[in-house]
Amino acid sequence: MKKFKKALVLLLSALMVFSIIGCGKTQKSGKGAFKPGTYTGEGEGIHGKIQVEVTVDENKITAVKVLKHDETPGVSDLALKKIPEDIVKYQSIGVDTIAGATVSSKGVLEAVKKALEKAGANIKDLEKKPEKDKASLKKIEKNVDVVVIGGGGSGLAAAVTAHQNGAKVLVLEKMPKVGGNTIISGAAYNAVDPKRQAKAGVEDSVDKHYTQTYEGGDKVAKPEMVRTFVENAYPGIEWLESMGMQFKDDIFTVLGALWPRSHKPVKPLGTGYIETYMNYIEKNKADIEIMVNSKATELIVENGKVVGVKAEGADDEIVAKASKGVVMATGGFAANVEMRNKYNKMWSDLTNIKTTNHVGPTGDGIFMAEKAGANLVGMEHIQLLPMGDPKTGSLSGNIEQGVENRIFVNKDGNRFVDEGARRDVMTKALFEQKDASMWVILDKHSYPTGDTKNNFNESIDELVKAGRAYKADTLEDLAKQIGANPDNLKNAVAEFNKSVETKAKDKFGRTLYKDKIDTAPFYAGARVPTAHHTMGGIEINPSAQVLDKNGKVIRGLYAAGETTGGIHGSNRLGGNALADTVVFGRIAGKSAAEGK
């Protein structure tokens, strides 16, 4: 296994071309299924066209190459490698997409489909999902101190901490790579940080963070959980920095954070977190094993204690015994439409609402824990953001850099909400606008140069070129480009600029300001509501021990991250999720290692 950091650097330095020759169990294509030859096709990736080359003989697909792409290194790499491999292996384009790189995966599949159409293939047959041959699965047994289910931010934090407390650890990750939602996140981390905040003239306190988190969730969270969270947020940053992770010195306010205490990593997206964990794991791989493509299916319970996990791998069945404890860190259920609709009480039907999440968070861990007796809390609390990409629902393409320097306008060019409000408040207001669509408006203060990047490692010039953002030297021209009323847009900006001068609360209740929107070029980016975070889940105590329906500890079972409930209440503050993964990931790992 190559070091994660080294691999990321190499991937950032060059485009990747993969040539994969098939092996393994395949679907039967049939004689004369293809017109032999080599064909090309293109699909739409997240940053433009993905071009592939597909080679077939009369009966099968023999090779797939990704020729050209502009996808994000370190995020889309596995999709560009594994999707072609699986297509050849299974002779199918019905293979699974890759977590965290869904758009890139679909782009490759679309391109291969178009190439195969040229080869005269029966596309309907090739779109069938390949089946596993269960009879050929190998039986694998593992015996460790701690099993962690889930290789996202909270799971890897738990794994590292468990090892730091003397445990031998196994991580089971159902997707083909680790990272979860953390690696594709905007990576903002909330913590009271006097040193950094003082430089910006920001006064803050742990009590203030507690109050805003508790009241921002309508006081339905468990107070002791909120207190544990806010008190351990900054120590979490110190812990990450002790392992080599770097944060920028500037503090900002991420969407819905309510206060400037958000930290931004130096590395793009959430790659800094995952790289930090994986570097540690690589150095200690004798005692920490990660098994990807390994979906946990059942907790093993003996005499009322959780002692292990059953899982299914790509080619094996796994029984993993844990002498000290099992940590559930499988994320939430924002990617499970049926589950969202089952528990939803706050929003209208969520069936057609896209999500910022990768495909993995489908509530698996919640189901397993509940079957083992765990109590679930706050399942009806589902967070929608007003910041989804209109096509994909993802956070990518979002042009905002922070709350203070931008406004939201509807299709008519009018402001309609306090842009520094709670996320649910902003999203409800957006649903009331025409087509539930808005424009984020800002200027050169947010993008001093065209190569300045957003929080998702995309430069503003790239976004404009791709038609995902609009640029103009005047507000009149910008309004024309986005189809808004020029007078309305100019008035909206003028009113905002007056408030920047006075710092007074405006008619929408806004209080967060920094720079005026008065310097060309001006920019606009479209956004829609999207499912982002599920605040409900497995109930835990401050030691991250899972509780049953009577409030008693289920021995041997711990949980952390978005799979838990009771920490954020009815609404999660922006920037609290990454801190949550670190704080309770660490607590769960330590508690499990101690067999607490």
Contacts of 549 (CB under 8 A, 6+ apart): 373, 375
What is the identity of the amino acid at 353?
I
> What proportions of the chain, in percent to the nearest 5, are helix, strand and coil?
30, 25, 45
Residue 127, Cβ neighbours under 10 Å: how many?
Answer: 12
Q: Is-catalytic flag, 423?
A: yes
d(CA 414, CA 497): 14
Which of 171, 331, 187, 151 lies closest to 263 in space, CA to CA?
A: 187
The residues, any chain, with a CB within 8 Å of residue 302's CB and separated by 6 or more, are none
On whether the CB atoms of residues 585 and 154 are closer than 8 A, the answer is yes
CA distances from 93 to 6, 34, 82, 98, 335 (A): 31, 15, 12, 13, 22
User: Considering 423, 468, 527, 586, which one is annotated as catalytic?
Assistant: 423
3-class DSSP state for residue 214? helix
DSSP output for 469-522? SEEESSHHHHHHHHT--HHHHHHHHHHHHHHHHH----TT------S-S-SSSE
Q: How do strand 49-56 and strand 295-302 relate by DSSP bridges?
A: unpaired
Q: Is the dihedral of CA 160, 284, 6, 54 positive or negative?
A: negative
User: What is the DSSP track for 69-97?
Assistant: --PPTTTSHHHHHHHHHHHHHHT-S-PPP
In whole angstroms, give the CA distance from residue 530 to residue 553.
Answer: 35
All residues at 6 or more sequence positions from 208 whose CB lies less than 8 Å from its CB, including other chains: 192, 259
Task: Give the integer Cα–Cα distance in Å for 567 and 552.
Answer: 18
Alpha-carbon distances, residue 211 vs 217, 229, 510 (angstroms)? 10, 12, 19
Element housing 115 (H / E): helix 102-118
For 71, 105, 335, 439, the CA distances from 100, given in Å and listed in that order, are 12, 9, 12, 25
Contacts made by residues 8-13, CB under 8 angstroms, sequence distance 24+: 8/73, 8/74, 8/271, 8/275, 11/73, 11/74, 11/77, 12/73, 12/74
Q: How many whole angstroms separate alpha carbon 339 and alpha carbon 423?
A: 21
The C-alpha angle 80, 82, 85, rounded to 5 degrees, equals: 110
Instruction: Output the CA–CA distances (angstroms, integers) from residue 577 to 143, 153, 539, 582, 584, in the order listed.
Output: 32, 10, 17, 9, 11
Q: Which residues face 263 on adjacent strands?
A: 189, 251
Scan for tokens 């008190």, then name that residue.
Answer: 231
Identify which of 258, 233, 245 has the alpha carbon closest to the alpha carbon of residue 579: 233
Q: Which amino acid is at 193?
A: D
Half-sphere exposure at residue 193, Cβ-oriented, CA atoms within 13 angstroms: 27
Catalytic residues: 423
